């Protein structure tokens, strides 16, 4: 399986190369009855659009989405939703100088070894533009989740060594780095300016908090909620790590500290802490789901690097053009969208957990 489809019941298949004619996604399994317009999706695409600050690539793409199927009179019909973004800018660059060179930190070499051919223009399928399909799928998933009271808060937790000290949502919306801490954002900007100056790049960490999940979401063995989230996250280009709740810090902790006690107000059961990150035994435990992903520094840097070309000769490469000195801010919406698709898919799977739910569902239909 070539692996361009994500999900089992809410299935998103993506396609498209950085400098091909277009990029797109086909959403199969979107339930009928959802109001859906191009604006709904455009809002999410705009969050990942390049050219919005000095920290993002200068490539100017309108990235305008077109709905090609699955929506009738503004409502989803249950049939596949085909979404497309034309590549407007694809003829403007000259890739002849990197056409046969393996850029360090990129997928040029591995693509060539696997397939014997690669579309070298802008990284082809391994370009960051591949995430357009993910964001379109996630936009639809998010809209559905919102109708169920499930919401996301996703932000830049750190860039390089600069980490946030608070989560101030207003501050986040005020800076191009999506950092919910005005002071940290300023420090991170200075750090990135230095990176840019010397032709280098930076990495960072994104944190995502999911609120409003029903308890018991996730399938107990291989399709655990956290397992599926981990896959979703590591499938994003530059991600090198995933942790849920206390994550790696839990490995230094003790059971007496790390266990979250259960408590009750007489009506509802809740936990007295959230070291688990909202997941017990692979199923949501009623608390917020909290996870983090580590993003590596942008591999495209303007400093010269030693590498090898397709002929197997050692060469030096200097990557021209403007590239994001840090991917993190634009990846925030991608992380959120992958989480949304993962969760929606598990919400469908969870509907078949109990026999009585099946019985309720089909009796109810009979009565209509």
Site for a second copy, residues 192 to 211, rule: CB under 8 A: 195, 199-205
300, 331, 334, 339: which one binds a second copy (CB under 8 A)? 300
52, 53, 79, 274: which one binds a second copy (CB under 8 A)? 79
Residue 355's alpha-carbon distances to 150, 352, 368, in angstroms, are 25, 7, 21
54, 114, 166, 318: which one binds a second copy (CB under 8 A)? 114
From 171-179, 182-190, 242-250, 329-337, give the range in contact with a second copy by CB under 8 A: 242-250
182, 186, 234, 274: which one binds a second copy (CB under 8 A)? 234
Residue 335's alpha-carbon distances to 128, 152, 328, in angstroms, are 13, 10, 10
63, 168, 207, 226: which one binds a second copy (CB under 8 A)? 226
Does the footprint of a second copy cover residue 21 (CB under 8 A)?
A: yes
Comparing CB distances to a second copy, the nearer of 76 and 170 is 76
CA distance 311 to 309: 5
From 8-16, 51-59, 167-175, 182-190, give the range in contact with a second copy by CB under 8 A: 8-16
From 45-53, 56-64, 172-180, 293-301, give the range in contact with a second copy by CB under 8 A: 293-301
Comparing CB distances to a second copy, the nearer of 3 and 92 is 3
Residue closest to 157 by CA, chosen among 188, 134, 136, 128: 188
Q: How far is the CB of 37 from a second copy (least distance, A)?
A: 14
Comparing CB distances to a second copy, the nearer of 116 and 170 is 116
Does the footprint of a second copy cover residue 115 (CB under 8 A)?
A: yes
Residue 162's alpha-carbon distances to 35, 249, 257, in angstroms, are 41, 19, 28
174, 281, 318, 320: which one binds a second copy (CB under 8 A)? 281
Contact pattern from residue 329 through residue 358 relative to a second copy, giving x for each residue in contact according to CB under 8 A and a dash for the rest? ------------------xxxxxxxxxxxx
CA distance 123 to 95: 10
Comparing CB distances to a second copy, the nearer of 173 and 266 is 266
CA distance 338 to 191: 28
Q: Is 270 helix (H, G, I), strand (E, B) or coil?
A: strand
Does the footprint of a second copy cover residue 247 (CB under 8 A)?
A: yes
Given a contact cutoff of 8 angstroms between Cβ atoms, the answer to whether 66 and 84 are in contact is yes
Q: How far is the CB of 116 from a second copy (least distance, A)?
A: 6
CA distance 62 to 3: 28
Does the footprint of a second copy cover residue 94 (CB under 8 A)?
A: no
52, 82, 100, 274: which one binds a second copy (CB under 8 A)? 82
CA distance 118 to 107: 10
From 37-45, 49-57, 81-89, 164-172, give the range in contact with a second copy by CB under 8 A: 81-89
- Find the binding residues for a second copy in span 140-169 (CB under 8 A): 144, 147-148, 158, 160-161
Comparing CB distances to a second copy, the nearer of 60 and 352 is 352
DSSP 178-191: --S-HHHHHHHHHH
Quote the radius of gyration of the chain (alpha carbons, Å): 22
Comparing CB distances to a second copy, the nearer of 170 and 316 is 316
Q: Is 160 helix (H, G, I), strand (E, B) or coil?
A: coil
Token pair in block for residue 306: 């030693």
Residue closest to 23 by CA, chosen among 135, 101, 120: 135
Given a contact cutoff of 8 angstroms between Cβ atoms, the answer to whether 342 and 228 are in contact is yes
CA distance 307 to 299: 13
Does the footprint of a second copy cover residue 256 (CB under 8 A)?
A: yes
- Find the binding residues for a second copy in span 37-76 (CB under 8 A): 66-70, 72, 75-76
Does the footprint of a second copy cover residue 282 (CB under 8 A)?
A: yes
């Amino acid at each position: 399986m070539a692996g361009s489809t994500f999900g089992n019941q809410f299935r998103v298949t993506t396609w498209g190369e950085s400098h091909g004619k277009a990029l797109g996604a086909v959403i199969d399994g979107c339930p009928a009855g959802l109001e859906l317009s191009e604006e709904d999706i455009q809002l999410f695409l705009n969050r990942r659009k390049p050219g919005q600050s000095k920290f993002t690539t200068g490539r100017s793409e309108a990235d305008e989405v077109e709905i090609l199927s699955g929506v009738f009179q503004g409502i989803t019909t249950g049939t596949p939703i085909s979404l497309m973004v034309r590549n407007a800018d694809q003829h403007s660059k000259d890739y002849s100088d990197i056409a046969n060179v393996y850029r360090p930190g990129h997928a040029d070499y591995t693509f060539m070894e696997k397939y014997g051919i690669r579309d070298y223009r802008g990284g082809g399928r391994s370009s960051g533009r591949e995430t357009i399909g993910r964001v379109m799928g996630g936009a639809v998933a998010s809209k559905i989740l919102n109708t169920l009271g499930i919401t996301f808060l996703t932000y830049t937790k750190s860039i390089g060594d600069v980490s946030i000290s608070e989560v101030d949502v207003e501050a986040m919306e005020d800076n191009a780095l999506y950092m919910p801490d005005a002071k940290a954002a300023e420090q991170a900007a200075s750090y990135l300016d230095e990176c840019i100056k010397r032709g280098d790049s930076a990495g960072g960490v994104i944190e995502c908090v999911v609120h409003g999940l029903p308890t018991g979401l996730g399938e107990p063995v291989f399709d655990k909620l956290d397992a599926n989230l981990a896959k979703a996250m590591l499938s994003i280009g530059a991600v090198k790590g995933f942790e849920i709740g206390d994550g790696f810090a839990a490995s230094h902790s003790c059971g007496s500290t790390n266990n979250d006690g259960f408590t009750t107000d007489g009506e509802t059961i809740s936990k007295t802490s959230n070291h688990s990150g909202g997941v017990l035994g692979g199923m949501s435990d009623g608390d917020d789901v909290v996870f983090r992903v580590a993003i590596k520094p942008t591999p495209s840097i303007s400093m010269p690097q030693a590498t090898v070309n397709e002929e197997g000769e050692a060469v030096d490469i200097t990557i021209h053009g403007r590239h994001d000195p840090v991917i993190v801010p634009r990846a925030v919406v991608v992380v959120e969208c992958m989480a949304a698709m993962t969760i929606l898919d598990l919400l469908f799977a969870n509907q078949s957990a109990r026999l009585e739910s099946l019985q309720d569902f089909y009796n109810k239909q009979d009565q209509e």
